[in-house]
Amino acid sequence: MKTFDELEVRRPALARSYLALLEAQPGRPLTLFAPRRVGKTFFLDHDMAPEAKAAGMLPVYADLWLYKSAPLEAINHALEEALDDLLVPSGNIGKIAKTPVTKIGVLGASLDLGDAPQRRSLPESSPLRLDALVTRLAGQHRGKILLMLDEVQALADSPDDAAMIATLRAVLHKRRKSVNAIFTGSSQEGLARLMNTVGAPMYQFAQIIDFPFLGDEFLRLLAEHFGQVHPDKKLELAELRNAFQKIGFKPALMRDIVRAMSAEGLTDVQRGIESYRTSGHQVAIWLALLNSIDAFDQAVLVVIAQGQPPLSRATLKVLELIPGSKPTIAKVRSSIEKLKRNGMLSKTMVGTTIDDPLFAEFLVTHSQQGIGSGRGCTPSLTKHPPA
């Protein structure tokens, strides 16, 4: 029997539709937008990459979120690894086949063929290296490359972002016969700065598409597996659907919740979410997260979790309760930006929100008691005065 972690939904038809769109507009990338942890990376790895290979393309993946300070180097590294895989295949037979023969035997005599001609080394400059790598990789593969860049908005937050973005656009446009590109992004604000700012290098370069969340097909898999583990019990699809929406359509989190419900034999999905949210293990994780930031940032998180305007005069009055804080609008804005970089906050069309809905509930529930330890205590913001 499979485990909950092995339950996966594949979307090859969606991947093929994206490939068709890329082929219809050479040189123009696609950007798939959706919040974090809803399955974009899984889709690239398990759907886009296999379908690209089936179409004769070579998929190359780079996660820019992990290399925010040097995203162009991350892209080059991914291309270099792909080139190495083509030049030196894995396994002894592949390595022997790629090893140049320098001598051959003729009737007992040995003939020295000399060293094989070497290509010039790749440029040291990152922009020139990117162009050279794309060209060499496409030539070695003898087909198109599919460059998959995860969390592409990180380009807008890196040093010398304008120069790097301009380089990426120039290479993708210049080598459009050799490379297609698909991006993912989880920040509306970051993507807007990257692609919707007039005069910016990427202005209207990529087509932004809302990446679809998983639906009932995924939830049915969970319910069916739960039924196999507990033949006398059943999970209601409608309850699963409401819960999935509540947690922000995050499949890994939904699996964790249903797995915990299975361990306890629960069928009430709302009760299962509450049990998961208040479990000692999960609370310990959130407390550790809070203890990594100071008391002022904790308080800003609580304000946002409660839906209060973080830059209002009333909020600044409450933040004054933190010893030595001296809150100002500039200081609150700086805190918000720092929390965004840490992945705790997201900017959406409706404003700044906590990235994890269950974490937001935890913050609201515990705000009266004071959250965190060692670095101060978050004041109670439950009775927030009107702005």
**DSSP classification of residue 231:** T
CA 36 to CA 201: how far, in whole Å? 25
Q: pTM, whole model, 2 decimals?
A: 0.84
In this structure, what DSSP letter does residue 61 have?
E
Two tokens at 277? 């949210």
Q: Which two tokens stand for residue 216?
A: 């009932």
Domain boundaries, the chain: 4-210, 216-277, 293-366
The pLDDT, as a whole number, for residue 327 is: 92
Query: Residue 104: phi, psi to the nearest 5?
Result: -130, 150
Average pLDDT, the chain: 86
Q: Residue 18 CB: number of other CB atoms within 10 A?
A: 22
Supply the DSSP symbol for 291: T
Q: Which two tokens stand for residue 46?
A: 């398990």
pLDDT of residue 252: 94
Question: How high is the pLDDT of residue 120?
Answer: 59
pLDDT at 112: 54
Q: How confident is the model at residue 374, as a pLDDT?
A: 39
DSSP H helices, 7-70, are 12-24, 40-43, 49-54
Tokens of 188: 């509306």
pLDDT at 187: 87
Closest alpha carbon to 15 in 47, 50, 42: 47
Query: For residue 373, what pLDDT is reported?
Result: 38
Residue 91: both structure tokens together: 């396994």
What is the distance, to the nearest Å, from the Cα of residue 325 to the centroid of all Cα atoms in its chain?
Answer: 33
Can you list the residues of the chain whose pLDDT is less than 70?
89-120, 159, 349, 368-387
CATH of 4-210, one of 1.10.10.1150, 3.40.50.300, 3.10.180.10, 2.60.40.1730: 3.40.50.300
Distance CA(336)–CA(120), nearest Å, equals 48
Q: Give the CATH fold of the 293-366 domain.
A: Arc Repressor Mutant, subunit A (1.10.10)
Angle among Cα 256, 257, 259 to the nearest 5 degrees reads 65
Looking up tokens 């929406």 gives 245
Give the span between the Cα atoms of 129 and 188, in whole angstroms: 30
The span from the first CA to the last CA of the chain, in angstroms, equals 56
